[in-house]
Amino acid sequence: MDELELLKKHWKSQDTQYPKVSAGDIYKMILKRSSSIVKWIFIISLLEFGLWAALTFLLKDSKNAQEFDKLDSDYLIIPLTVLGYVILAYFFVLFYKNYRRISVTDSAKVLMENILRTRKTVRNYVFFNLALMAVTFMAALYIEFDQNKAIISRAQTAAANGETFMFYAKTILLVACVLAVLAAVLLFFYWLIYGLLLRKLNRNYKELRKLDI
């Protein structure tokens, strides 16, 4: 006898063996909150959008930024800020549309693809933001070195003392530290998302893809 036929026979004979969940218990269950990965992906994505928005605001309000505003920087910073918001709006709409498309009644493959697509939108947003942030940073540094009298005089003093190298090295180190902290926060998010939530999904998606080759 075919092994699976034996299993099938037994499988069918087991129908009466299952625990019986009462209607009352089902009522209670549907009041409970889901703990599906989609819910967590949604929350984490909102946090990511929120984090970037908050970061922009915080940087804007800091003392340094206020000092910076006194410099002639509008020609660069305003377009970059506007671009930042346009990108945020674009990705958020895209993210929400993709999120709404996730349906548990699709085929397994389509469901997985839609979840992955939603995540990809957020990831792309983060990449764009990182690029934008790098550009803004460089623009800001350029303006500071070009216009900030304190920095110019410090650079000149350093040059006079023959410490030009040290001066630039320190500046670069500071910028690198800030970027490292940001990168650490991002890595934490990615560890959360890819390490914990999407590991199973990715594995199963690969398996399905493998079947269709």
Partner 1 sequence: MDKELEHNFVALLEEHQNIVHKVCRLYTNHREAHNDLFQEITIQLWKAYPKFRGDAKFSTWMYRVGLNTAITLYRKSKRTINTYELETFQFKIKAEEYDDTEEQQLKLLYAAVHQLNDIEKALVFLYLEEKDYREISETLGISEVNARVKMNRIKNKLRTILNP
Residues 116, 82, 43: CA angle, nearest 5 degrees? 30
What's the chain's Rg over C-alpha atoms? Answer: 27
Tokens matching residue 50 = 């929120």
User: Among the candidate windows 75-83, 106-114, 140-148, 150-158, which touches partner 1 by CB under 8 A?
Assistant: 106-114
State which H helix or E strand residue 8 sits in.
helix 3-13
Q: Rounded to whole angstroms, how far apart are CA atoms 67 and 147? A: 12
State the binding string over 158-197 for partner 1 (x if CB under 8 A, else -).
---------------------------------------x
CB of 194 to partner 1, least distance (A): 14
Q: Which of 68, 84, 99, 111 binds partner 1 (CB under 8 A)?
A: 111
Longest dimension (CA), the chain: 93
CB of 50 to partner 1, least distance (A): 22
- By beta-carbon proximity to partner 1, the closer residue of 72 and 207 is 207
**SS3 of residue 161 by DSSP:** coil
Identify whether the C-beta of residue 124 lies closer than 8 Å to the C-beta of residue 91.
yes
Q: Given the rule CB under 8 A, which residues bind partner 1?
A: 2-4, 6-8, 10-13, 15, 17-23, 26-27, 29-30, 32-38, 40, 103-112, 115, 197, 200-201, 203-204, 207-208, 211-212
